[in-house]
Structure 1
Amino acid sequence: MPTPRPLPSTSLLVACIAVATWFVVRPFIDPFPPASDTLHFRRILALCTRRDAVYHSGRGACVHPRKPEGHRIYSNSTRAQCAPESQGLVCAAIYILLLILFIPFAFSDAISSAASAKDVEGIVVTEFPHYQLSVYLSSLLSLLIATMLGFLDDVFDIRWRHKIPIPIIASIPLLMVYYAERGNTHVVVPLPLRFLFGTLVNLGPLYYIYMSLLSTFATNSFNILAGINGSEVSQAVIIALSVILNDLLYLPWPLDFRIPLHLLGSRKEVEIGGVWSAGMAYGSRELVERHLFSLYFMLPLLAVCTGFMYHNWYPARAFPGDTLCYVTGMAFAVVGIQAHFSKTLLLFFIPQIFNFLLSCPQLFGLVPCPRHRVPRIDHDTNLLYPSQAPFEQKPPSKLATLILRVLSTLGLAKLTIEPSTGAIASTTNLTILNFFLVRLGPMTEKRLVQVLMAAQVGGSVLAFVVRYGLAGLVYDGNRR
């Protein structure tokens, strides 16, 4: 079994306590608006959660992977050795436990107001935010279902055609609460199409299909972009950071500043902050509550993933399994749906969308699709090379040949041509990881995951530019 990385000493816990104490004391020194009070406690729990994830993820049971040669890439030092699998279950357990413990604090304002309310006649009627509670609990239930189904996938090795409906099942509680509370199903039509459809279009049942497909994409997009040390968890960390940064723009802050969006082609500037202007929410309590809800789920997710990343970084001493992919994907789907910024969320998935579109010829059967499309490792040099998908049983169809030649011309794939017939004998597997190897050449596994992280960061930067710089070109007004 690979030697586990040394666990952090108690100095990390002491540092977390010091930082958490500052977050507690800070509001009393210079009070923030009431909407941010609960967020400080969430930060404390997130710091403690990160330490728990670092500690427990490295203590997983030693189990042998199902297919050591195809399921995971092993470095020379850890190849064919025993390593903890499915440690995403540990992360999911800590994450969900933290969300459960946080429930009283998320609704502390309502509880404290009910306790302090007085009436001269001795009868007090205080309206509790049952809708927010039902949204929180339904989101938690979806995460629990995703955890259970993800672990079943790790144990029983579920086939891809059976994996597709799993996130749809997990999203049922979300959709039912959304329907019961008469959730909005209208969408704003872009300016160029308004002469056909008007300003608003009611999608009705199609909107619920869209939300279920969003949860399906968010979970499976991590699952099909995996196979190297640190790939799954690094994607989750960067996307969580992007969502958190987007949420912070809408919260009340004691400082204010302006973003010069006119440099990006926008007609106006965006003002951030001001204690009571609630950031980019501009005094809208509803928007503040939505993004606070998102932060309640994203901060502990970031803490858990960064803690696990300590053990999953190359050379990995623990692997996440499918459970972490399901839980992180469902967490992003939850905040995108319940906080009503699903389009912004999809912008943070630009590399995953690219990987999905590139994979479509294999996912839909036009090109042979092996179960694991991870890059091939040369154990002599410890370098990764693009893996191949050979046409062994039958030659590619005319449509597949056309698609592959277009991809080859664009530099997205590398083809092997049969010299005698000129037909395509094989192609590199159509994933973004193999694409990086085709364009940049062979590289080590650590270098490849760094390239993937750089692409993810670049995608997030592009997402912010599109969302807050270019969106004004196709939408009028303040599209928050």
Structure 2
Amino acid sequence: MNKYKSTNVSGSGGIIGSTGFIIGLLSFISFRTFYLETNLFLPEILAALCTIILLSGIGLIDDLLGWRKGGLSKRSRLILIFISAIPLMAINAGKSIMSVPLIGPIDFGIFYPLVLIPIGIVGASTTFNFLAGFNGLEAGQGILLLFSLGIVSLFTGSYWLMAFSLCMIASLIAFLLYNFYPAKIFPGDSLTYSVGGLIAVISILGNFEKIALFFFIPYILETCLKLRGRLEKHSFGKPTPDNCLELNYDKIYSLNHLSIFLLSKNNIKVTEKKVVFSIW
């Protein structure tokens, strides 16, 4: 992808990154249980862990089917991701009172766990998967977003949520060593679903959904551009013999395309690395 001469690259490597996060979080639980001797927030931590495991599994299934049948259908994908939110719904995660601009605080009551939580999980995991297709892009974006949420968790006193961010950041950094240009392994949906879902999980449990929504503005824009292409246009560029990139379409259907367009308009040699750095 995005290279003039194609080479064989391992796919679905994101399951390794997700597994690293799961091991890290289980180690964190063990440390709190046996050393600190506290079970504070344990239901929330275990519910979050279940959600990420489910998302990773769904992503892996989507990847495996993608090699043969084009992946899961859009309907099946949404239903399965909705199911992954059930652990958080079951414990009534987060707070149902939210401050809405121009209106003020609103208590959503039972509507929050039954509707808003699954919408958040489905929305974050699927839209995070949209802005992808370039070596290191997804892992790098995940590191930046989770680092920002980790800082927010620190300043709001949610230290246990900061551990969520740190576990995934450590796993993503290790993964990025092999995923950065030229990639030796691709993340696949098993990573993008779990990272996007984790961002939603942290935001819900930490009650800073509005901050996460602000961080997700690029993904909201990406979704709008994808809808412009009826979710049928690819995010890749058109590689040239000298391994530079050109626009694949006459119109912009992704932030990746926008980056290629702006770089070329400024007479900058467009490479995959430069596109990734410009989006970061």
TM-score by length of 1: 0.53
Give yes or no for the alignment of 1:106 onto 2:106: no
- After TM superposition, the structure 1 = structure 2 runs for residues 201-220 of structure 1, keeping only pairs within 5 Å, are 201-208=106-113, 209-220=115-126
Structure-2 residue corresponding to 1:374: 236
Per the TM alignment, residue 243 of structure 1 is displaced from its structure 2 partner at its CA by 1.1
Give the partner amino acid of 1:342.
Answer: E
Match of 1:138 in 2: 47
What does residue range 396-415 of structure 1 map to in structure 2 within 5 Å? Answer: none
Deviation at 1:229, TM superposition (A): 0.8
Distance in 2 between residues matched to 1:230 and 1:93, nearest whole Å: 18
The 1:383–1:145 alpha-carbon spacing in structure 2 relative to 1, beyond 3 Å, is same
Pick 1 or 2: higher relative contact order, CA cutoff 8 A, min separation 6: 2
Paired residue secondary structure (2:229)? helix
How far off its partner does 1:324 sit? Answer: 0.6
1:260-409 pair list within 5 angstroms: 288=157, 291-363=158-230, 369-370=232-233, 372-378=234-240, 380-388=241-249
What SS does structure 2 have at the residue aligned with 1:84? coil
More helix by share: 2
Alignment gaps of 5+ in structure 2? 67-71
Distance across 2 between alignment mates of 1:187 and 1:91: 33
Q: Are the structure 2 counterparts of residues 185 and 249 from structure 1 closer, same or farther at C-alpha, using a change threshold of 3 Å?
A: closer
**Aligned position for 1:428:** 251
Number of equivalences: 270
The RMSD of aligned alpha carbons is: 2.1
TM-score normalized by the length of structure 2? 0.88
**Which whole-Å CA distance do the structure 1 matches of 2:85 and 2:218 have between them?**
23
In structure 1, what is the Cα distance between the partners aligned to 2:75 and 2:60?
17
User: Alpha-carbon deviations, 1:385-410, whole Å to 9, x = none?
Assistant: 1222xxxxxxxxxxxxxxxxxxxxxx
Structure 2 SS opposite 1:80: coil
Change (3 A) 1:205 1:358: farther
Which of 93, 97, 105 pairs up with 1:186? 97
Q: Aligned partner of 1:175: which letter?
A: M
| Partners of 1:351 and 1:186 in 2: CA distance | 26
Cα distance, 1:314–1:239 mapped onto 2, change above 3 Å: same
- Identical counterparts, % of pairs: 26
Q: Is the 8 A contact 1:386 1:437 kept in 2?
A: yes
Alignment partner, residue 57 of structure 2 = 148
Secondary structure of 1:200 counterpart: strand
Determine the C-alpha separation between the residues in 1 that align with 2:98 and 2:126.
Answer: 25
CA contact (8 A) 2:225 2:252 kept: no
2:262 and 2:276 map into 1 onto residues whose CA distance is 15
What 5-or-longer segments of structure 1 have no aligned partner? Answer: 1-71, 113-127, 194-198, 251-287, 389-426, 454-480
3-state SS of 2:169 partner: helix
| 1:373 and 1:429 in contact (8 A); partners too | no
Structure 2 distance, partners of 1:319, 1:227, is: 9
Which structure 2 residues correspond to residues 30-109 of structure 1 after superposition, within 5 A? Answer: 72-74=1-3, 76=4, 79-107=5-33
1:245 to 145, 151, 170: 151
1:134, 1:185 → 2: CA distance? 18
The Cα of 1:377 is off from its aligned counterpart by 1.3
